[in-house]
Chains A and B, each alone.
Chain A
């Protein structure tokens, strides 16, 4: 029994055990160093797992040697291996920046516990992604959610606590809906193992409890993923949370919600049942596209740029929901690729906000005046990630949009392809507004004043990835293609 075979357990156990150790350290600097090491180890594990899955097929890991259907099983296929890489990779990139980031944006009395909460949130999200047991998924969901509420509440603005409270109430309702759905599905199948449940559900799929189970799970994950119109917790939470927290959650939290939706619909209820019989595509596509248009339009009118990015997230999650709703092979690829790609760009954009707040104390339109000359590197990152958000060729955003549009056409819904392109054009407006203010207005007096390297470098790394992965698509599209084929594609 080598250490290598224990990697699935270590993927979650390392950050989960690291979190209380971090709390015991007391000294913020020590806790930070420890958290960075933990995040990097976690990232290394996830990369090793992805490689192994691509080489040798899905991994089945059983906790404590119990048979898979009795105990808790971890099942890793290309889909969740990619999500694991995204979540742990974002943690590995953002964690080093927290050393200075928290001094400006986290309330003083919470600083020594910041890294504990960050590692707990990380462990929870990784747990959601890796588990093959549906109740275990709920438990990890609550672990990551509770840590996220606490992290949002650490923001220095007093509105952060209010935003965190609303996030808590809505998040708990969402998680409880998922819990009811799990209970109903358990009631009809008598099992909690996802694969076993998927095998037993078709026999009882005509019954009302199973139909209700799908509805409950759909609503619960919609709240967690912030799919329009269940997104109302998100704008305030991302605006008032510390920007580094927004960067991490903007890149991962809603993506985990989308992953849960994909996993539960495809691997538990089955695409034939969900899309063929229950027609959830008729819910996901209209709501997704309505969110894409409404989110983009509202983003244009925002004064605070963090709120603008949060509304842009509503739009981007809308694309993902619509892509899932199209229920064809390209749609699945679009959803998986966009989960990954949007994580990169939104992470980069929120890191830019962290840089600006570090120097100017706020991130509204006023403070961006002349920033192109004052903080050239930071604004350069904003432009690159912004172009990617619009979907300009040679960026990751283009790859996502390409598959999204082609899946709409595959589904025979060409007017919707126009809606997608139209919503992307609105993104041009809200990104251009900022570029216009930053590069084409006279800067206020003051010399060049770039943000500290520790904050800028992570943003630059993410922007570089936006371009590299936009040119070479082997990692994202290649893996998504394999994952989509394994999930079963069209009904």
Chain B
């Protein structure tokens, strides 16, 4: 496979990998907890798109039974990722609830300020 095809032929996968990297970078580098959660969401979003890209079948239609349809895309990854999206919603809400409690006890949601508060 020549390099151009490798990039263009996998555009969806490259996109989701980019999202994974961006998300992970935000989680690792930001000290603000809300930004960390946002980064986590971008990270998970990359995986969602990756799964959806798996289900793509060239010239396939939406997986709804229809008399004219010859080829369907694969619906299974859609269902799987629906589950993962529900999990991500639960994770995000729990993370936000924790941030509320952290804010109540530390009066801050910045990593470095909390670390300082715990040292005192």
| Contact between chains at A176 and B47 (CB < 8 Å) | yes
B-contact bits for A181-194, CB 8 A (1 contact / 0 none): 00100110000100
A164 to B40, CA, bound (A): 15
| Contact between chains at A139 and B33 (CB < 8 Å) | no
| Contact between chains at B87 and A158 (CB < 8 Å) | no
| Contact between chains at B91 and A142 (CB < 8 Å) | yes
B82 to chain A, nearest CB (A): 11
Where the two chains meet, the residues of B that have a C-beta atom closer than 8 Å to any C-beta of A are 20, 24, 27, 33, 36, 40, 43-44, 47, 50-51, 54, 77, 80, 83-84, 87, 90-91, 94-95, 98-99, 101-102, 105-106, 114, 118
Q: Which residues of A, 154-191, contact B by the 8 Å Cβ criterion?
A: 158-159, 161-162, 164-165, 168-169, 172-173, 176, 179-180, 183, 186-187
A-B pairs, top 9 by smallest CB distance, nearest first, are A158-B105, A142-B87, A161-B101, A165-B98, A161-B102, A187-B54, A183-B51, A172-B91, A168-B95
Instruction: State whether the Cβ of A153 lies closer than 8 Å to any Cβ in chain B.
Output: yes
Other contacts beyond A142-B91, A149-B94, A168-B94: 17, CB < 8 A: A135-B83, A139-B87, A146-B87, A146-B94, A153-B101, A158-B105, A161-B101, A161-B105, A168-B95, A169-B27, A172-B40, A172-B91, A173-B27, A173-B40, A173-B43, A179-B84, A183-B50
B-contact bits for A30-51, CB 8 A (1 contact / 0 none): 0000000000000000000000
Instruction: State whether the Cβ of A327 lies closer than 8 Å to any Cβ in chain B.
Output: no
| Contact between chains at A172 and B51 (CB < 8 Å) | no
Specify which chain A residues have a CB less than 8 angstroms from the CB of B44 in the assembled complex.
172, 176
Instruction: State whether the Cβ of A320 lies closer than 8 Å to any Cβ in chain B.
Output: no
Pick 18 A–B contacts, CB within 8 A, sort by A: A142-B87, A146-B87, A153-B101, A158-B102, A158-B105, A158-B106, A159-B118, A161-B98, A162-B106, A165-B98, A168-B98, A172-B91, A173-B24, A173-B40, A173-B43, A176-B47, A180-B47, A187-B54
Which residue in chain B gives the minimum CB-CB distance to A135? Answer: B80
A23 to B44, CA, bound (A): 30
Which residue in chain B gives the minimum CB-CB distance to A171? Answer: B91
B-contact bits for A426-444, CB 8 A (1 contact / 0 none): 0000000000000000000
Which residue in chain B gives the minimum CB-CB distance to A159? Answer: B118
Which residue in chain A gives the minimum CB-CB distance to B17? Answer: A180
| Contact between chains at B83 and A139 (CB < 8 Å) | yes
Instruction: State whether the Cβ of A150 lies closer than 8 Å to any Cβ in chain B.
Output: yes
Number of A residues whose C-beta is below 8 Å from B?
25
| Contact between chains at A169 and B94 (CB < 8 Å) | no
A146 to B102, CA, bound (A): 17
A142 to B85, CA, bound (A): 12
| Contact between chains at A183 and B54 (CB < 8 Å) | yes
| Contact between chains at A169 and B36 (CB < 8 Å) | yes
| Contact between chains at B98 and A153 (CB < 8 Å) | yes
Q: Which residues of A, 442-471, contact B by the 8 Å Cβ criterion?
A: none
Specify which chain B residues have a CB less than 8 angstroms from the CB of A186 in the assembled complex.
54, 77, 80
- Beyond A139-B83, A169-B27, A169-B36, whether A164 also contacts B98 by CB under 8 A is yes
A187 to B94, CA, bound (A): 31
A147 to B111, CA, bound (A): 24
Which residue in chain A gives the minimum CB-CB distance to B106? Answer: A158
A135 to B105, CA, bound (A): 38
B18 to chain A, nearest CB (A): 14
| Contact between chains at A165 and B102 (CB < 8 Å) | yes
| Contact between chains at B47 and A165 (CB < 8 Å) | no
- Beyond A172-B91, A173-B24, A183-B54, whether A165 also contacts B99 by CB under 8 A is yes
Specify which chain A residues have a CB less than 8 angstroms from the CB of B106 in the assembled complex.
158, 162
Which residue in chain B gives the minimum CB-CB distance to A172? Answer: B91
Q: Most B CB atoms within 10 A — which of A168, A176, A179, A180?
A: A176
Specify which chain A residues have a CB less than 8 angstroms from the CB of B94 in the assembled complex.
146, 149-150, 168
Which residue in chain B gives the minimum CB-CB distance to A164? Answer: B98
Specify which chain B residues have a CB less than 8 angstroms from the CB of A176 in the assembled complex.
43-44, 47
Specify which chain A residues have a CB less than 8 angstroms from the CB of B54 in the assembled complex.
183, 186-187
A171 to chain B, nearest CB (A): 9
| Contact between chains at B77 and A165 (CB < 8 Å) | no
| Contact between chains at B114 and A162 (CB < 8 Å) | yes
B78 to chain A, nearest CB (A): 12
Specify which chain A residues have a CB less than 8 angstroms from the CB of B77 in the assembled complex.
183, 186
B96 to chain A, nearest CB (A): 10
A153 to B106, CA, bound (A): 14
B45 to chain A, nearest CB (A): 10
